[in-house]
Amino acid sequence: MASSLMNKAAAWLAADGPEPAMVVGTCGRLIRNLADFPFPQRCSAEDRAAVEQRVVGALESLGFLGRGQYYAAANLAPRELRFLGERILIGRDFAPGKKSCGVYVADDQCMSVLVNGTEHVAVRALASGLQIKEVWSRLNAVDDKLAGMLGYAFSPDLGYLSSNLRTLGTGLRITAVAHVPALFEVNKVGAAKEQLCGQRYAFQDFYDAADGEESDFVRLANASTLGQSEEEIVFHLKHLVSEVISWEKDARNALVHDAPRSLEDRVYRAVGVAREARLLDFPEAVRLVSSLRLGIGCGLFADYSFECINRLHMDAHRGHIEMRLGQDCDDLTLNSERADLFRERLA
């Protein structure tokens, strides 16, 4: 059961990587398919079982299962899947009850291997702060080990084959989870989006809010996996993310010098609400987390660390609350438990 992960701290939330004030973490994903099986959507039940057996066997042979655990989707409750998704260990294609589908999770929760999702294999690596090159190096090392045992579908002309054109080629997507509240405050987000999107890179709200209300947390990622080598993707993405970080720093300095009272009001108002609220829905919790992180980054107080706020942010998610309580919850219970969590952590 994934509940065994609940009491283990995800190492990538430790805020011990570069640029912790601006970048929560870096996530990389490599998509691969096995050459001697159809893509997952066309696989028979027997094929899917054979793929799972081969991948799990490779993980065991390479010693991964001694440093982590494999979880079969059929044995996971919906709240456990939500929990894994919130920790960025699985994607949205991971459905409850799906047979011959599962995920390997490393003990430090900085690596996972999904089996029989949208593709046969999806390797993920996570790191604290801005570590694009380091994440790629870790993905590449795992990929090299698995490649010799799995036999990937590969074309000299197209690269690694995929059921989706968006992941054809390198199969590599790297995302920096950035916190850019000052860019929103000074209305510079549009320029940042235009800069990245014009160069085949994405600037997207981390939560994809259905109501159109953007959070201050964004995903900065390569939008294409075809036509560039892995090294080119890493080089250009690191350059572009560094540029966004520079803009955010300039915007924060402008707030500190030009609108200090407004900045202080936002931050200390958030502290007051976080310490006293009895009900908090998730969007409000995210706004509070953003203001608290901004206050720490601008040097307004040293009561809390980025690690403390990162872990509070993660634990405020629905799946985490339900896992802690061991049951599914209605909105009132979630909002009440979330407010209790904020008061306890920030007392």
Q: At what angle do helices 331-346 and 318-325 cross, to 10 degrees?
A: 90
- Please give the pLDDT value at position 296: 97
- Assign residue 326 a region (left: φ > 0; alpha: ψ between -120 and 50; beta: otherwise): left
Q: Which domain holds residue 107?
A: 2-253
Q: Residue 91 belongs to a domain with what CATH number? A: 3.30.590.10
Count the Cβ atoms, other than its own, within 10 Å of residue 156. Answer: 5
Q: How many domains does the chain have?
A: 2
- Please give the pLDDT value at position 212: 54
Same domain, 24 and 61: yes
- Please give the pLDDT value at position 39: 94
Same domain, 14 and 156: yes
Same domain, 62 and 111: yes
Per-residue pLDDT reduced to its tens digit, 132-170: 999 999 999 999 999 999 999 999 999 999 998 889 999
- Please give the pLDDT value at position 95: 72
Same domain, 41 and 102: yes
Same domain, 14 and 76: yes
Do the bridges between strand 172-179 and strand 217-222 make them parallel or antiparallel, or are there none, so unpaired? antiparallel
Q: What angle do CA 82, 4, 52 make, to 5 degrees?
A: 70
- Please give the pLDDT value at position 197: 77
3-state SS class at 237? helix
What are the structure tokens assigned to 17, written together?
A: 């990587």
List the chain residues with pLDDT less than 50. Answer: none
Same domain, 81 and 67: yes
- Please give the pLDDT value at position 217: 97
Q: What angle do CA 49, 52, 56 make, to 5 degrees?
A: 145
Same domain, 128 and 236: yes
Same domain, 55 and 97: yes
- Please give the pLDDT value at position 213: 67
d(CA 184, CA 217): 10
- Please give the pLDDT value at position 89: 96
| Closest by Cα among 34, 104, 24 to 62 | 104
User: Domain end: 253, 277, 299, which one?
Assistant: 253
Q: What DSSP string runs through 136-181?
A: HHHHHHHHHHHHHHH-B-EETTTEE--SSGGG-BS-EEEEEEEE-H
Same domain, 161 and 274: no
3-state SS class at 263? helix
